[in-house]
Each structure stands twice: as structure tokens, then as C-alpha cells.
Amino acid sequence: MEVIVVQAFFMGMMLPPELCNNVTDFIKECDVNDGNKVYYPTKGGIPYMKVTVEKINQEDLKKQGVFSWPIWQKEISDFDWYYDTTEQFYVLEGEVEVETEDGQKVVFGPGDFVTFPKGVKCRWHVKKPIRKHYNFK
């Protein structure tokens, strides 16, 4: 019997392969990577991938090498963006509101550590010029 490895993500959590067949009505195959099927939950047929905003202490940021990541900055503006890979960043200054294709609204500013999963489509509203350390995974 051949074993097929399936990775399934449900609300940001990987599901064990034995549960994958039970949730296929709620998730959509979005990507095939190294022979593994990757599934994401959907909301109205649109892949639902949660953007996270968290506070991480300075010591942990240093351990992750965040302060050696490149810096990106942007003036006050509005623009559409698609994440073709996962991005993590640490906001140094500014204020941004982002609305994802599935309707999630996220606001972040100085001191926030933000993760945008691969596949997210969104609109950025830069309310105060932003500077951030960023890293693509």
C-alpha cells in the first residue's frame, strides 16, 4: 500500500493526514509542493489564510536575527499586494491598515511582528509612512 503524505492547514494549524479526508469539503487545494498537497481553509470559495500580528520581546527578535533583515519603507499610499511567499516583518515606525481578500482587517504599527502567509491577496492602506525589517520564507 502506497502512503500519500498530505499537508493540510486549518485556521493556521497543520492537520494530521488521517484527518485530511474529513475536511476536504471546507478546504481548497491551492498548491502542490514537493509532491505534497497543501490545502487551505476557504471562506466563500476564497482561500482563508490568517494574517497574524504579535508582540515579541527584543531578546527573541535578536535571536531570530530580525535586526539584520533588510529594511523596506513606503510613503502614505494605497496599493494592492499578493504574497507569493510567506513574509514576516517587524515594524519600526508607521501605521498601516490591511484588508485581505476574505475581509480580514489588520492594523499594525511600531513594535508589531507581522506574518503574511503565502497566497494572501490584500490591499494596503499606509496611513503613516512605514519602515520595517522584513524577511521572506
CA angle 125, 127, 131 (to 5 degrees): 95
**Residue-level pLDDT at 41:** 55
Count of structural domains within the chain: 2
Classified as helix, coil or strand, 114 is strand
Pairing between β-strand 71-74 and β-strand 121-136 as defined by DSSP bridges: antiparallel
Q: Which domain holds residue 12?
A: 6-47
**Residue-level pLDDT at 103:** 86
**Which of 73, 124, 68, 69 minimizes the C-alpha distance to 94?**
73
What average pLDDT score do residues 20-27 get?
Answer: 46
Classified as helix, coil or strand, 135 is strand
**Which of 45, 13, 14 minimizes the C-alpha distance to 27?**
45
Classified as helix, coil or strand, 68 is helix
* Domain CATH number, residue 76: 2.60.120.10
Q: Are residues 67 and 28 in the same domain?
A: no
Q: Are residues 37 and 97 in the same domain?
A: no
Percent of the chain scored above 70 by pLDDT?
64
What pLDDT digit, counting tens, does each position of 98-123 carry? 999 888 899 999 999 999 999 899 99
Q: Are residues 99 and 66 in the same domain?
A: yes
The answer to whether the Cα torsion of 2, 7, 120, 100 is positive or negative is: positive
Check whether 7 has a pLDDT greater than 60: no
Q: Are residues 129 and 76 in the same domain?
A: yes
CA 8 vs CA 27, 86, 98: distances in Å: 8, 16, 26
